[in-house]
Amino acid sequence: MKNLKPITYNLKPSRGFTLVEMLVSIAVFMVVMTVASGSLMSIIDGDNKAQSLKSAINNLNFAIESMAKNIRVGTDYSCVNCSSGDTSISFISSKKKYVTYRFNGGNSSIERCVGASSYCVDSDIFTGMTAKEVKINDLKFYTVKGDKFSNRPGRVLITVSGEAGAKEKIKTKFNLQTTVSQRSF
């Protein structure tokens, strides 16, 4: 065998990236991260809005369902101007208590008062039923008296309108209506 010499290549040593290449790659990375973080912040803001709105609507739903349940099993509906809509309604509950629901324009809320021996008046203590995130603009009660001859019970139509949401940018307007039929004759 002949003398074998190791094979060597004359390669230039690797120098890495140039400064221009590094600046371009950093700039591209910053643009991508800015767009990604903006999207993430938008998603987080949307989630916060949805959670706040859900909480407010759940509170409103609870207040209206509570009113409807109590009115449904109550008797002797009474309001000042029932045929064209009144902002308050009084009745005797199934527990023989005098209950009044009303719209308080000063607090923009729905309020309730329970009296033991008579209907509530303005000097009685009314408790709020809606959270501060729910602003009620209008609440009306319309009643239709039951007919003794046809055994048709009375009905109460409740309409509510307002805004839900704690912050100005997440407020949502609503209009709700429900009809309650009296169960007891």
Domain with 66 in it: 31-181
In a domain? residue 149? yes
In a domain? residue 19? no
In a domain? residue 171? yes
Total domains in the chain come to 1
How much is the pLDDT for 45?
Answer: 85
In the predicted model, residues of the chain with pLDDT beneath 50 are none
How much is the pLDDT for 185?
Answer: 53
In a domain? residue 50? yes
How much is the pLDDT for 75?
Answer: 82
In a domain? residue 102? yes
Q: What is the DSSP letter of 6?
A: P
pTM attached to this predicted model: 0.70
In a domain? residue 81? yes
How much is the pLDDT for 174?
Answer: 87
Tokens of 123: 């000097």
Q: How far is CA 40 from the centre of its chain?
A: 24
